[in-house]
Structure 1
């Protein structure tokens, strides 16, 4: 008989968030995917998540002697990488006039509320956001770099503006494995009521993610540009054949 694979807590989290996760994937494809072609969209996508990751990394330091701190894996910290990329896209003084948008403020308020009342629930946010970055974020980066290579009009060093998804000497597969193992170890020490709270909070993670992804600006203009280019191409082709057959 084939060996039955262990049903660990990470798999339960994935099942619990399957439906809302699918909505998030669709939103990312509809919004951030246009960042392949437009730096403004990509930068705005970075901007909405910057405060969230910064808060979580601060919380892991503040709670370093608790279970929350056990998810602080070496090489995973991204605040500095966010800031380097945002400086590349928005300029050195981008923070001077920066104010978080309403959806980001709502997200931060939820994180602060949790830290004050039931800080263990922060591990749901840490796990899902970093696992998402290590998986989907890397895929987005590769697609974006492919588009950059194919663009003859853009002379850009491929590492410029891509620090967020560059983990240097650290192996992404190993970091994902370490993050899963840490999450499962923590869950093994929790009672069923706490585990259920984490599963429910995991759904809230994706709901809040979806709200800030919806706020990403510029994707609509990229769609319009693509449509304009498409119709111009059609008109040129039609004019060419019209001229050809008139001769």
Structure 2
């Protein structure tokens, strides 16, 4: 099958497979701690908040262009990010918030891309939202399981708005995004498609840079090791007492 006959979204996934796998490994290594630690989850929210906000504002600014066509009712996440961040960091979190260097670098890249060709932002919209509708949903379910299985994990009724789409079907979101992206791609020149493929790779390059800045994972690992060591020590004492 010739490349042109392959749906463009599949071409994007194929071109980014290697760096996407690296990104997945990095997320698993970093954000896996977020399953049981709210501070790490909040860190993850904080680094992506500005990125999603920028993209949603860009889609609104260019609502009459190809970029604007990717906006689907119910997909906006800016308010959900802000609600979750208020839950974890307090209502006044924004008053003392300053984006970290890697996030600023990411935003500068997006702004320059918008100036050069807003349509190239479609690569970022496609991959980031598909990620939220795929891996984001998996993380959400795992966090729910951890709360159920481990009683020492703080119970909460909030802090999950980013991954909660209410009555909207996540599967439908994904189908609509893919269909729209492929429909738009059919109208683009080979040169424009090649640029979108390049930007698809940049999505994961920049994502990886900000994910590496998530703080707190080392401390959590140390804490878990100490708890496990304490458990083993207590178990040994009990066994020694029983069989003395």
Same fold flag (TM > 0.5): yes
Measured after TM superposition, the shift of residue 152 of structure 1 is: 2.0
Say what the alpha-carbon RMSD is for the aligned residues. 1.1
Matches of 1:227 and 1:217 in 2, distance apart?
18
What secondary structure sits across from 1:184 in the alignment?
Answer: helix
Query: Which sections of structure 1, spanning at least 5 residues, go unmatched?
Result: 1-5
Normalized against structure 1, the TM-score is what? 0.95
Normalized against structure 2, the TM-score is what? 0.96
* Bigger Cα displacement from structure 2, 226-235 vs 206-215: 226-235
Residue equivalent to 1:131: 130
Matches of 1:241 and 1:155 in 2, distance apart?
31
Matches of 1:156 and 1:240 in 2, distance apart?
30
Question: Aligned residue pairs: how many?
Answer: 240
What does residue range 142-161 of structure 1 map to in structure 2 within 5 Å?
A: 142-154=141-153, 156-158=155-157, 160-161=158-159
What does residue range 1-247 of structure 1 map to in structure 2 within 5 Å?
A: 7-154=6-153, 156-158=155-157, 160-246=158-244
Moved over 3 A (4+): none
Q: Could you tell me whether the CA contact under 8 Å between 2:70 and 2:181 is conserved in 1?
A: yes
Matches of 1:101 and 1:43 in 2, distance apart?
14
Q: Could you tell me whether the CA contact under 8 Å between 2:36 and 2:146 is conserved in 1?
A: yes
Matches of 1:93 and 1:171 in 2, distance apart?
32
Measured after TM superposition, the shift of residue 221 of structure 1 is: 1.1
CA deviation profile, 1:199-247 (whole Å, cap 9, x unmatched): 111111000000111111111111111111111111112222223332x
Query: Which sections of structure 2, spanning at least 5 residues, go unmatched?
Result: none
